[in-house]
């Protein structure tokens, strides 16, 4: 009769060596992605916690070493299939320069590599440590604008409930003692991500039932959002009641972190009252050697993983070499029926970084001026791309222009999308307040859309087909008083020529 216990010590070292070699192979091909992820950890306080996530995962696995020692690693081929799909998603992210997608795909690829080589039985024992690795992906910045809007809404609501009159315009509001604005640092994204990371670990270590873990993780998401709202309200109130001598400048941030720390510690103290201890006989506390149930040959699994992971970077290199094009040069709009070029009515320019070519002109038909801005992008990469969170109408720290409302508008014109993004911008040029309305949409290699996700998908598909990544943002803007009628009239007159201009720029690749 075969001694399973004696065989296990010989099985694990060989399997671990094979696992480490395969993971090194994966990191070799995706080193640029891994390095970019680590660079974000280093430069952003929001994601600095990610440096400790892999060590924590290893520690959590080490805690399971006695249970794992009684299990036999059984490589499985079937998890290589989702791994191949993950590599394809990495390729889509790389083609469109989406950091979050490529880095998420890399971490999932490493997790699926571990599962494929160790097998389902072993991986089930370390499911949480593997899933915890996902928290090292620097993702979440997309929530910042929404969190800023929520914070501004609550702060204004609470101030009015406190009897303080408030005049609000977008992220800015004025009370009798002074003016305040909600910027990125006020969004609470740092508090939220830190809370979710620590709260998830706390839930795993202190609870056994899935329900309690899920409830506490949900609380780790909800509590910091409400805490950030209270923090913003308290800072404004302290500043108001102290004549703006307290809670302004650096101490504004210090008060915020102190308050957040108190709230989170209180949340953990309350959560600890319902902590659970796993019964000795629960699954996960193995008491006997699990017999082998079969599996795929280890060499076959490793070779398949090696081929699948190498395919992504090699495909990207092939596509990139094939669709490189000359620098873009965009022409001008010629005279339009009833419209003639005229001096600009505002010096505003959208904060879009490093476009390949731009066009900005103003037209008038005698009934009011309309401006047009086109930002054209070609040969996009992580340093220059159309769709990114840093490309915006107005930066949050701009002292002259500010976005006070956003929305969308349905239109039915030739060569136009059914819906355009709209925004109202407050201008304080020369100390005089004025407003203008902006319509915005994207042109992606001949396709029109207002969706960031659709624009990214269209760009990736275009590159996969060998058609390049030519893309543009088109904005029309006019003084707010007559904006809807003026913008619609200009769009109807200019949209055919805009399409021809962009098509000609693309054809000149």
Specify the pLDDT at position 91.
96
Q: Is the predicted pLDDT of residue 2 greater than 90, yes or no?
A: no
Q: Which of 302, 318, 316, 381 is nearest to 26 (CA)?
A: 302
Q: Is the predicted pLDDT of residue 268 greater than 60, yes or no?
A: yes
Same structural domain, 295 and 425: no
Same structural domain, 152 and 34: no
Res. 288 pLDDT band, cuts 50 70 90: very low
Same structural domain, 160 and 301: no
- pLDDT per residue over 43-83, tens digit each? 888 898 899 999 999 999 999 988 888 888 989 988 989 99
The domain boundary residue, chosen from 188, 221, 243: 243
Same structural domain, 155 and 286: no
- Number of domains the chain is built from: 3
- What sections of 53-98 are H helices per DSSP? 53-62, 65-68, 80-95
Mean pLDDT computed over every residue of the chain: 87
pTM of the predicted model as reported, rounded to 2 decimal places:
0.85
Report yes or no on 42 lying in a domain: yes
Let me know: does 341 contact 320? Beta carbons within 8 Å.
no
Same structural domain, 169 and 93: no
Q: How many residues does the chain have?
A: 509
- pLDDT per residue over 92-121, tens digit each? 999 999 999 999 999 999 999 999 999 999
Let me know: does 450 contact 441? Beta carbons within 8 Å.
yes
Same structural domain, 480 and 431: yes
Q: Which residue has the higher pLDDT, 259 or 506?
A: 506
Same structural domain, 345 and 465: yes
CA distance 84 to 112: 10
Report yes or no on 56 lying in a domain: yes
Same structural domain, 211 and 311: no
- pLDDT per residue over 153-190, tens digit each? 999 999 999 989 988 877 888 888 888 888 777 778 88
Report yes or no on 269 lying in a domain: no
Specify the pLDDT at position 158.
92
The domain boundary residue, chosen from 243, 260, 290: 243
Report yes or no on 237 lying in a domain: yes
CA distance 368 to 426: 18
Let me know: does 362 contact 371? Beta carbons within 8 Å.
yes
DSSP percent split of the chain into helix, strand, coil, nearest 5: 55, 15, 30
Res. 262 pLDDT band, cuts 50 70 90: confident
Same structural domain, 116 and 148: no
Structure tokens at 266: 């209180």
Buried b (16+ CB within 10 A) or exposed e, 429-462: eeeeeeebbbbbbbbbbeebbbeeeebbebbbbb
Q: Is the predicted pLDDT of residue 390 greater than 80, yes or no?
A: yes
Q: Is the predicted pLDDT of residue 196 greater than 60, yes or no?
A: yes
Report yes or no on 248 lying in a domain: no
Report yes or no on 361 lying in a domain: yes
If you search the block for the tokens 């009833």, which residue do you land on? 338
Specify the pLDDT at position 279.
60
Same structural domain, 134 and 164: no
Q: Which residue has the higher pLDDT, 437 or 508?
A: 437
Among 50-54, 253-257, 412-416, 426-430, the range scoring the smallest mean pLDDT is 253-257
Report yes or no on 252 lying in a domain: no
Same structural domain, 362 and 497: yes
Identify the domain containing residue 447 by its residue range: 340-507
Same structural domain, 428 and 295: no
Strands 447-449 and 434-444: antiparallel
CA distance 162 to 179: 17
The domain boundary residue, chosen from 258, 291, 322: 322
Res. 433 pLDDT band, cuts 50 70 90: confident
């Amino acid at each position: 009769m075969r001694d399973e216990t004696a065989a296990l010590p010989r099985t694990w070292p060989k399997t671990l060596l094979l696992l480490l070699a395969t993971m090194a192979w994966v990191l070799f091909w995706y080193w640029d992605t891994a390095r970019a992820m680590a660079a974000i950890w280093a430069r952003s306080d929001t994601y600095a916690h990610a440096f400790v996530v892999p060590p924590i995962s290893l520690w959590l696995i080490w805690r399971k070493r006695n249970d794992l020692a009684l299990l036999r690693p059984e490589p499985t081929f079937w998890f290589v299939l989702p791994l191949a799909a993950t590599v394809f998603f990495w390729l889509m992210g790389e083609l469109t320069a989406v950091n979050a997608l490529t880095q998420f795909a890399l971490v999932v690829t490493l997790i699926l590599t571990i599962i494929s080589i160790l097998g389902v039985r072993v991986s089930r024992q370390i499911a949480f440590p593997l899933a915890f690795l996902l928290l090292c992906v620097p993702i979440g910045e997309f929530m910042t604008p929404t969190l800023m809007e929520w914070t501004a809404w609550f702060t204004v609501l609470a101030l009015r409930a406190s009897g303080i009159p408030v005049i609000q315009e977008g992220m800015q509001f004025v009370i009798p003692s002074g003016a305040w604005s909600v910027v990125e640092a006020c969004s609470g994204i740092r508090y939220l991500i830190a809370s979710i990371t620590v709260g998830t670990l706390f839930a795993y270590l202190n609870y056994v039932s899935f329900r309690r873990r899920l409830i506490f993780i949900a609380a780790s998401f909800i509590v910091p959002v409400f805490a950030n709202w209270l923090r913003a309200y308290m800072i404004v109130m302290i500043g108001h009641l102290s004549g703006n001598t307290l809670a302004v400048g650096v101490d504004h941030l210090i008060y915020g972190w102190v308050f957040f720390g108190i709230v989170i510690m209180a949340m953990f103290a309350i959560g600890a009252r319902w902590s659970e201890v796993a019964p000795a006989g629960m699954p996960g506390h193995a008491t006997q050697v699990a017999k082998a149930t079969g599996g795929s040959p280890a060499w076959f699994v490793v070779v398949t993983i090696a081929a699948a992971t190498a395919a992504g970077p090699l495909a990207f290199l092939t596509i990139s070499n094939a669709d490189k094009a000359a620098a873009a040069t965009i022409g001008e709009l010629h005279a339009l029926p009833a419209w003639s070029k005229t001096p600009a009515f505002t010096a505003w320019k959208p904060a879009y970084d490093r476009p390949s070519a731009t066009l900005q002109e103003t037209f008038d038909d005698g009934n009011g001026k309309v401006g047009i801005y086109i930002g054209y992008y070609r040969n996009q990469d992580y340093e220059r791309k159309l769709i990114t969170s840093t490309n915006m109408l107005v930066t949050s720290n701009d002292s002259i222009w500010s976005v006070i409302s956003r929305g969308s508008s349905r239109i039915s014109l030739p060569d136009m999308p059914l819906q355009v993004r709209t925004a109202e911008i407050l201008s304080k040029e020369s100390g005089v307040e004025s407003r203008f309305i902006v319509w915005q949409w994207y042109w992606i290699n001949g396709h029109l859309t207002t969706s960031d996700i659709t624009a990214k998908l269209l760009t990736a598909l275009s590159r996969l087909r060998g058609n390049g990544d030519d893309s543009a943002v088109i904005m029309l803007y006019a003084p707010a008083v007559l904006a809807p009628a003026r913008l619609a009239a200009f769009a109807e007159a200019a949209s055919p020529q805009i399409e021809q201009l962009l098509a000609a720029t693309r054809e000149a690749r």
